[in-house]
């Protein structure tokens, strides 16, 4: 088994009982492509990260590979159809990260609306030397309308949180979710209708050919001038130039972003110069508890496949 990023030893303990496990030794540095290619050629299993590009070129030489367990619910870094053609099972880590990612998405809503980061910096930078009735005043979240784009497990968990804030819940999804409509009072809207009506537009959409670039200039123009755009799904669902323009022209009021087209984002990126943008380094599922559960689930998926059993969470 080759693990492409340093993971806590205890998460690998069970797997190590039945397999030889080799691991890229760095936690914050991605494995170089040539190392990954060489390791993939020898491995029965890969435990991969979103930052590893697993394409047809890499897979064609990986003749002993049986399983790729991605440490993420998303798997847009993996060429799923090539893997399927080669009989390689691809697994992800759904469910265990749902609540942590929904917590983070909701904290972006609160942070962007109530100017939390800006206000915290104001205090830390020693600027707090007076008071004014509208000093750092933001927008309310409670009783507003949230529009969730991508009503999967994480979307539903965000909706549950929104219910606690007495929000009106709208959603757009590839297919209707009758149970969510009933249990969460979520109302379905066509994409542009949702954009027009929402105070908070929250994208949790996976990256597919349909979602790529869906938040374009036209989409931002459909939103309210007071709208706050939140993205905890995938960066590439956004045309970032259009987002920068919408923020500069005040077509929308703010943004809370955990994901970007290019990660890590260029420190000179115009999005990072704007006070009305809260930017995070893709930490949706990054609680210690959840990351441990994700690693353990990925390891169980690998063990199961190597033992000839069904994996818990295959994507193919
Ligand atoms: C990743 C994510 O797990 O699960 C996903 O799809 O985007 C994150 O939670 C994280 O970036 C580690 O790869």
112-139, pLDDT tens digit by residue? 999 999 999 999 999 999 999 999 999 9
| Residue 179 to residue 148: CA distance in whole angstroms | 15
How far, in Å, is the centroid of ligand 1 from the Cα of 288? 13
Residues 210 and 64 in one domain: no
Mean pLDDT of the chain: 98
Cβ neighbours, 10 Å, residue 306: 16
Residue 104, in any domain of the structure:
yes
Q: What is the CA radius of gyration of the chain?
A: 21
pLDDT of 132 = 96
pLDDT at 41 over 90: yes
Asked whether the CA dihedral 100, 102, 106, 111 is positive or negative, the reply is positive
Residues 41 and 163 in one domain: no
Atom of ligand 1 nearest to the CA of 74: 6
Which of 69, 80, 282, 295 has most ligand 1 atoms within 8 Å of CB, for mutation?
Answer: 282
Residues 30 and 134 in one domain: no
Percent of the chain clearing pLDDT 90 (strictly above)? 100
Residues 168 and 274 in one domain: yes
Q: Which residues are catalytically annotated?
A: 234, 263, 282
Residues 17 and 164 in one domain: no
Atom of ligand 1 nearest to the CA of 50: 13
Which is nearest to 199 in space by CA: 136, 143, 158?
A: 143
75-108 pLDDT, tens digit per residue, is 999 999 999 999 999 999 999 999 999 999 999 9
User: Average of pLDDT values for 278-299?
Assistant: 98
pLDDT at 316 over 90: no
Kindly list the distances between the CA atom of residue 127 and the CA atoms of 87, 137, 138, in Å, as whole numbers in the listed order: 60, 15, 18
Residues 51 and 136 in one domain: no
Which is nearest to 189 in space by CA: 208, 204, 168?
A: 168
Residues 29 and 126 in one domain: no
Residue 15, in any domain of the structure:
yes
pLDDT of 183 = 97
Which of 284, 291, 293, 315 has most ligand 1 atoms within 8 Å of CB, for mutation?
Answer: 284
Residues 144 and 211 in one domain: yes
Please give all residues whose beta carbon lies within 6 A of any atom in ligand 1, as ranges: 49-50, 71-74, 97, 282, 284-285
Residue 229 belongs to what domain range? 98-279
Residues 169 and 104 in one domain: yes
Residue 12, in any domain of the structure:
yes
Residues 78 and 124 in one domain: no
pLDDT of 264 = 97
Residue 196, in any domain of the structure:
yes
Structurally, the chain folds into a number of domains equal to 2
pLDDT of 314 = 98
Residues 158 and 274 in one domain: yes
Residue 182, in any domain of the structure:
yes
Residue 193, in any domain of the structure:
yes
Residue 312, in any domain of the structure:
no
How far, in Å, is the centroid of ligand 1 from the Cα of 233? 9
Kindly list the distances between the CA atom of residue 234 and the CA atoms of 73, 220, 222, 284, 311, in Å, as whole numbers in the listed order: 12, 17, 20, 11, 26
Residue 198, in any domain of the structure:
yes
Q: Whose CA is nearest to atom 5 of ligand 1?
A: 72
173-192 pLDDT, tens digit per residue, is 999 999 999 999 999 999 99
Strands, sheet with 2-3, edge to edge from the N-terminal-most edge strand: 22-23, 2-3, 45-48, 67-70, 89-91
CA angle 281, 284, 288 (to 5 degrees): 100
| pTM of the entire predicted model | 0.97
Residues 188 and 274 in one domain: yes
- CATH code of 156's domain: 3.40.50.720
């Amino acid at each position: 088994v080759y693990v492409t990023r340093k993971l806590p030893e205890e998460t690998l303990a069970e797997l190590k009982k039945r397999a030889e496990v080799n691991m890229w030794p760095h936690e914050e540095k991605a494995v170089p492509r040539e190392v990954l290619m060489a390791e993939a050629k020898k491995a029965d299993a890969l435990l991969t990260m979103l930052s590893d590009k697993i394409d047809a070129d890499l897979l064609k030489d990986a003749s002993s590979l049986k399983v790729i367990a991605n440490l993420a619910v998303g798997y847009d870094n993996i060429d799923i159809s090539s893997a399927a053609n080669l009989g390689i099972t691809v697994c992800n880590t759904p469910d265990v990260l749902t609540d942590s990612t929904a917590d983070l998405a909701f904290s972006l809503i609160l942070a962007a609306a109530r100017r939390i980061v800006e206000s915290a910096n104001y205090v830390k930078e020693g600027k707090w030397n007076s008071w004014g009735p509208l000093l750092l005043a933001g927008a309310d979240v409670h009783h507003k309308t949230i529009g969730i784009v991508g009503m999967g497990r994480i979307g539903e968990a965000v909706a549950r949180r929104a219910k606690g804030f007495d929000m009106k819940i709208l959603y757009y999804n590839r297919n209707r979710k009758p149970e969510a409509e009933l249990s969460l009072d979520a109302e379905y809207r066509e994409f542009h209708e949702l954009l027009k009506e929402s105070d908070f537009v929250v994208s949790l959409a996976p990256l597919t050919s349909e979602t790529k670039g869906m938040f374009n200039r036209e989409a931002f123009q459909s939103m309210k001038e007071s709208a706050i755009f939140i993205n905890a799904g995938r960066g590439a669902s956004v045309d970032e130039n259009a987002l920068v323009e919408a923020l500069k022209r005040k077509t929308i009021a703010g943004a809370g972003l955990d994901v970007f087209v290019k990660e890590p984002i260029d420190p000179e990126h115009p999005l990072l110069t704007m006070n009305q943008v809260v930017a995070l380094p893709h930490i949706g599922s990054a609680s210690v508890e959840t990351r441990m559960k994700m690693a353990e689930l990925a390891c169980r998926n690998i063990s199961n496949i190597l033992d000839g059993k069904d994996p818990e969470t295959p994507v193919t």
